[in-house]
């Protein structure tokens, strides 16, 4: 278990409570349907000179089922005015012999 000091050092420079991204969107269409994947990323995880975020959740209930997902964003992609985003690419779990893909970007935010 991490000590408070270790956690503060790990997240130095980040606002742990505010630095998250919306990652809501629509999955690929497979077997004639798609799902929504509403959600918010976890807090930033420092990596090299950048950071990434975990995202996990459950899709909407459509066609009698849901799908779960657990993935990581790519590193930060700097945008104008101090904003940044992250690329996202993952596949949901298999339910009823199929899965769905998600590709895109999280909603931009400030560091």
Nearest to 73 by CA among 56, 49, 58: 56
Say yes or no to pLDDT of 73 above 60: yes
Residues in the chain: 111
Say yes or no to pLDDT of 56 above 50: yes
Better-predicted residue by pLDDT, 32 or 15: 32
- Give me the pLDDT at residue 110, please: 82
The pLDDT > 90 percentage for the chain reads 76
Q: Average pLDDT of the chain?
A: 88
Per-residue b/e over 69-102, b at no fewer than 16 CB within 10 Å? bebbbeebeeeeeeebbbebebebeeeeeebbeb
Domain ranges of the chain: 4-110
Say yes or no to pLDDT of 102 above 90: yes
């Amino acid at each position: 278990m991490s000590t408070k000091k270790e956690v503060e050092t790990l997240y130095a420079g980040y606002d742990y409570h505010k630095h998250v991204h919306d990652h809501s969107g629509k999955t690929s269409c497979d077997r004639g349907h798609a799902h929504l994947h509403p959600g918010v990323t976890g807090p930033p995880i420092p990596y090299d000179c950048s950071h990434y975020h975990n995202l996990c959740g459950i899709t909407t209930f459509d066609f009698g089922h849901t799908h779960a997902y657990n993935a990581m964003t790519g590193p930060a992609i700097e945008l104008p005015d101090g904003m940044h985003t992250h690329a996202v690419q993952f596949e949901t779990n298999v339910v009823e012999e199929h899965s769905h893909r998600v590709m895109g970007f999280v909603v931009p935010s400030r560091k």
